[in-house]
Amino acid sequence: MDYKAKIKTWGRSRAGKIVIGIVVVLLAMRIALPYVMLHYANKELAGINGYYGHINDLSVSLFRGAYTLDSIYINKTNEGSDAQMPFFSSALVDLSLEWGSLFQGKIAGEIVLIQPNMKFTENKVELDDVAADTSDFRQLIHDFMPIQINRFEVQRGHIVYADYTANPEIIIEATEVNAVAHNLKNTYNKKEILPASLQASANVHNGTALLNMRLNPLSKHSDFDMDFELKNTSLPELNPFFKAYAKADVNKGVFSMYMEAATKDGEFVGYVKPFIENLDVLDWKGQDKNDAFLHKIWEGVVGFGGKLFKNRKTDNIATKIPLSGTLGDKNGIQSNTLTAVFNIVKNAFFEAISDNFDNNITINSAVSRQDEK
């Protein structure tokens, strides 16, 4: 009997029919799986309290242990009306098993967001409000990826803070946000105090922002040690903010900032060093020529203060503001105002503050503060 005849004979047998039936059912399930998952996901997104979301398409890769969401958006909804406000969207979301964790004997996942957009629209910047939104977002991610997330990546993201109730309206943006977080669930480096890492970069109104952080998200207070720098952000692009809160606008100038901070068991220590270069506030004949007279006087006072406390060699206004406190305490993180004022004067008339990190804040600094209490 030839090979083809054997296959036909086997296919007519009871065992052959069962195997063929199983294969057909599995293929049908594989074909139907993305549609079933898409229907379920959209049903869940439409039922989130305070939000409404939708996914255009969903694809499954059984070989990678992954599935991909194509063109997802989640909007905030107004309880009193059907109005929706954009909150989150992404061109692509890839959720998959992290094979490196599997090799360590752990089951963990990774998420990659391609061109995500996130928009916060509060009346004023309140960390509690932002924390509430991000907490809801983390819960949503957990619903889509119920296993532990060990790696998180953002590519070409966009973050917006908008206050449409201010006069004028305020919009602050971070574009080209790229970030990678590793070992969030500590499947590696179990003996390290801060086993996880986060690196992020972004463009902020013609400036650049960089964040480097070591952290332990599994600790009670999410211990961390971080460096953050913001360089050459255009002050004129932030004029809506200055007009709304400082009642002045800027004709020229750039803003930079360096920050180091660490926390251990809730004890926080750090500093912020802000720098303003080439500040020019008042332009009697330019963009300020139509301002009210008293408004011009106020801008003149602000501009005079800027010129008075500007370092003649570096042409900048700068200070260093120490920060300390206990997370969760009613007093929160406190800044030393007297030291900040002293450092403004010091930078202007005595010794220029270095426009770089001091490299004197580590996780041990937070431990020392804890020991001193």
- My answer on whether omega of the bond before 168 falls inside 30° of 0, hence cis, is yes
Kindly write down the DSSP assignment for every residue of 110-130, as one continuous string.
EEEEEEEEEEE--SS--HHHH
Residue with the two structure tokens 């993180």: 333
Q: Which helix (H) or strand (E) holds 294?
A: helix 293-308
Residue ranges of domains in the chain:
34-181, 189-373
Q: What is the pLDDT of residue 305?
A: 47
Written as six digits, the tokens of 72 are 């997802």
Residue with the two structure tokens 């919009």: 171
Cβ–Cβ under 8 Å, residues 123 and 165 = yes
Q: What is the pLDDT of residue 224?
A: 92
- State how far the Cα of 167 lies from the Cα of 346, in Å rounded to an integer: 36
Q: How far does Cα 354 stand from its chain's mean position? A: 28
Q: What is the pLDDT of residue 348?
A: 63
Count of C-beta atoms within a 10 Å radius of residue 198:
18
Q: For residue 42, give the amino acid letter.
A: N
- State how far the Cα of 327 lies from the Cα of 266, in Å rounded to an integer: 5
**CA-closest candidate to residue 60, choices 98, 95, 27:** 95
Q: For residue 19, give the amino acid letter.
A: V
Q: What is the pLDDT of residue 301?
A: 41
**90 forms bridges with which residues in the sheet?**
72, 116
Written as six digits, the tokens of 36 are 């079933």
Tell me how many degrees the CA angle 209-169-236 measures, rounded to the nearest 5. 50
- State how far the Cα of 311 lies from the Cα of 130, in Å rounded to an integer: 36
By CB neighbour count within 10 A (0-12 exposed, 13-18 middle, 19+ buried), where does 171 fall?
middle
pTM of the model: 0.75
Q: How far does Cα 103 stand from its chain's mean position? A: 29
Q: What is the pLDDT of residue 293?
A: 40
Written as six digits, the tokens of 244 are 């709304």
Cβ–Cβ under 8 Å, residues 96 and 109 = yes
Written as six digits, the tokens of 206 are 């013609």
Tens place of pLDDT per residue across the chain (373 aa): 466 665 666 556 666 556 556 666 556 555 666 677 778 888 888 877 778 889 898 887 776 777 888 999 988 887 666 778 888 999 999 988 776 665 666 777 889 999 999 988 764 444 455 555 555 556 666 666 666 788 899 999 999 988 888 777 888 899 999 999 988 887 666 678 898 999 999 999 999 999 999 998 887 778 899 999 999 999 888 878 777 766 667 778 888 889 999 998 888 889 988 888 887 765 544 555 455 444 444 444 444 445 555 666 677 777 888 888 887 776 667 777 677 666 666 666 567 777 888 888 888 877 666 656 5
Kindly write down the DSSP assignment for every residue of 295-353, as one continuous string.
HHHHHHHHHHHHHHTS-TTT-EEE--EEEEEETTSTT-EEE-HHHHHHHHHHHHHT-PP
Cβ–Cβ under 8 Å, residues 249 and 242 = yes
